[in-house]
Amino acid sequence: MISRRDQVLGYVLLSIAAIAALAPFVGVVILALGEPGQIAPSLDISQATHFGNFGDVWNIASFGASMKASTIITLTIVVVSVVLSVPAGYALALAHFPGRSAIFFLFVFGLLIPLEAMIIPLYFDMRKFGLADNYWSVILPDIGFSVAFGAFWMRAFFMGVDRSLTEAARLDGANSLQTLMRILLPLAKPQLLTLAVLFFVWNWNDFLLPLVMLAGSEIQTAPISLVYFQGQHTTDFTYLAAGALITIAPVVIIYILLQRSFTRGVLSGAVKD
């Protein structure tokens, strides 16, 4: 049914779109490797040999400390949120208790609330409990946002599980926890991986929350370091390009390694940015 001409046209159009998506990144890589300190750096690929730029920026913007802080914060959020989302989604899908749908709708409601509508009390109220200017001041709220999506996501998976599986486990004498751990979790591995990848990407990229919650401390996440560095080196585009690449590197690496998991997450309508 599909003509050869349409086929070729399809490739051409998709290639144009892919080039439009990738070209700025290619430009930034060439820029980052150029000679530093120029006002209007030219994109000359033969000059793109200054690999030391990454080391310079790493030191000037103290990316060492901020990449470490971002890693600790993000991985803690990912692990805790996945661990809390699984039983929540399980109960919302397969347990029967009064208020179950109300709790489910409460979580869905949370997916719609923007951080902007929470950030002010978070800043002032957490401060009262000594939960400001430290890792926890970012980790705890991000776990709160993440589990709202995670419970929703895992519930959808558990709803789709064949009931005869859980019933068989029960007849076999397994209690609800054993059913979850031994029967359902092994089946859920792809969904768990997708959830972890989504949590990682969202939380690594997060900016407003750490900007506000860590404002009074020395702790910076990678995006914060990049933005502060830009504030001091507004037009040093070569170094800024190197800083941008350092900031996005972990997400890009994870994305390329686990891109199947990520695509599945977005394609199934992961309704959260």
Partner 1 sequence: MSTEAALANTPVGGGRLRTSPSSVAPGEPRKIGYAYVLPALVMYVLFVLAPFIHTIFLSFFSWDGIGPQEFVGLDNYKDIWKSPVFRSSFVHSIVLIVFYAVIPLLIALLLVSIMNRSKIRGLTFYRTALFLPYIVAPTAVAVIWRWLLSPDGPINSGLTAIGLGALTRPWLGDFTFALPAVGVVGTWVMSGLVLVLLLAGVQKIPTSLYEAARIDGAGAWWEFWAVTLPGLRYEIAVVLVLTVTAALRNFDIIYVMTSGGPGTSTIVPSYLVYQQAFIVGSLGGAAAIGFVLAVMIAVINYVIARIGGTSS
Residue 69 in contact with residue 138, Cβ under 8 Å? no
> CA 258, CA 264: separation in Å to the nearest integer?
10
Q: Candidates 9-17, 46-54, 60-68, 187-195 — which segment interacts with partner 1 by CB under 8 A?
A: 9-17
Q: Please enumerate in sequence order all residues whose Cβ is within 8 A of that of 31, keeping only pairs 6 or more positions apart, or say none.
A: 41, 43, 237, 238, 241
Coil, helix or strand for 155? Answer: helix
Residue of the chain from 73, 122, 132, 188 that contacts partner 1 (CB under 8 A): 122
Q: Candidates 44-52, 54-62, 187-195, 262-270 — which segment interacts with partner 1 by CB under 8 A?
A: 262-270
By the rule CB under 8 A, 44 interacts with partner 1: no
Q: Candidates 45-53, 59-67, 107-115, 187-195 — which segment interacts with partner 1 by CB under 8 A?
A: 107-115
Exposure string (b/e) for 85-113, b if CB count within 10 Å is 16 or more? bbebbbbbbbeeeeeeeeebeebeebeee
Residue of the chain from 37, 55, 79, 100 that contacts partner 1 (CB under 8 A): 100
Residue of the chain from 46, 101, 128, 163 that contacts partner 1 (CB under 8 A): 163
> CA 94, CA 175: separation in Å to the nearest integer?
13
- Is the CB of 218 or the CB of 273 nearer to partner 1? 273
* Smallest separation (angstroms) from partner 1 to the CB of 65: 17
* Smallest separation (angstroms) from partner 1 to the CB of 218: 18
Residue of the chain from 151, 188, 195, 196 that contacts partner 1 (CB under 8 A): 151
* Smallest separation (angstroms) from partner 1 to the CB of 115: 8
**At CA 196, angle to CA 159 and CA 267, rounded to 5?**
60
Residue 238 in contact with residue 37, Cβ under 8 Å? yes
- Is the CB of 54 or the CB of 107 nearer to partner 1? 107
Residue of the chain from 150, 191, 214, 261 that contacts partner 1 (CB under 8 A): 150
> CA 257, CA 251: separation in Å to the nearest integer?
10
Q: Please enumerate in sequence order all residues whose Cβ is within 8 A of that of 217, keeping only pairs 6 or more positions apart, or say none.
A: 133, 134
Residue of the chain from 54, 90, 135, 157 that contacts partner 1 (CB under 8 A): 90
- Is the CB of 55 or the CB of 177 nearer to partner 1? 177
By the rule CB under 8 A, 172 interacts with partner 1: yes
Binding positions for partner 1, 23-42, rule CB under 8 A: 24-25, 27-28, 31, 39-40
By the rule CB under 8 A, 189 interacts with partner 1: no
Q: Please enumerate in sequence order all residues whose Cβ is within 8 A of that of 29, keeping only pairs 6 or more positions apart, or say none.
A: 48, 241, 245
Residue of the chain from 37, 52, 105, 120 that contacts partner 1 (CB under 8 A): 120
